[in-house]
Amino acid sequence: MQIIAISGSARPDSSNYKLLRAMAKHKPAWAVGISRLPEKLPLFRAQDDSNPLPATVIAWRNALAAADGLIISSPEYAHNIPAVVKNALEWLVSSGELAGKRVLPIILTPHAPRGAKAMQSLCWTLKSMDARILAQLPLFQDQIEWDENGQIMPGESLDTLDAALSLFSD
């Protein structure tokens, strides 16, 4: 199974990126690939959504077309998803790569109750593109325990991730 995972944070050391790296190590047979492509995409403008497309847009669309699913792990900024995530998704609206595609949206925030509005915004966008949302996964940094190798320690957080990832198999 080929799953693309994108981080909604542009920081390379972000907790969202750390979570995706841990998921990729946890399910290596799934070929979870972490993409930094969305942050390199040009700002979406409808008039630019025609040939010739920028090379980064073509690569982004091709990667998603070839993938079995998508994981988006995002922080919440001002009760919404970051602009980098919204921009990456806007480049897919007219071309339809997410139609029927399995998507696992994750909102990772420091602690409860944060994240609900960002999840709602992300899911509205995904639904408008006919993505197949597998689950809505709110996670809180203060509930995840990490080992010295950057892996998530066994427990409730890892069990939650396993259950969510198993939805890609259904």
SS3 18: helix
Over 80: is that where the pLDDT of 12 sits?
no
Over 80: is that where the pLDDT of 28 sits?
no
pLDDT for the residue 9: 87
pLDDT for the residue 31: 62
**pTM score > 0.75 for this model?**
yes
With tokens 């396993």, the residue in question is 162
Give the residues across from 102 on adjacent strands.
Answer: 69, 132
**Neighbour count for residue 76 (Cβ, 10 Å):** 22
**Can you tell me the distance from the alpha carbon of 51 to that of 112, in angstroms, rounded to the nearest whole number?**
44
**Please, what is the end-to-end C-alpha distance for the chain in angstroms?**
12
pLDDT in tens, 88-144: 999 999 999 999 999 999 999 988 788 999 999 999 999 999 999 999 999 888 889
**Can you tell me the distance from the alpha carbon of 25 to that of 32, in angstroms, rounded to the nearest whole number?**
8
pLDDT category of residue 23 using cuts at 50, 70 and 90: confident
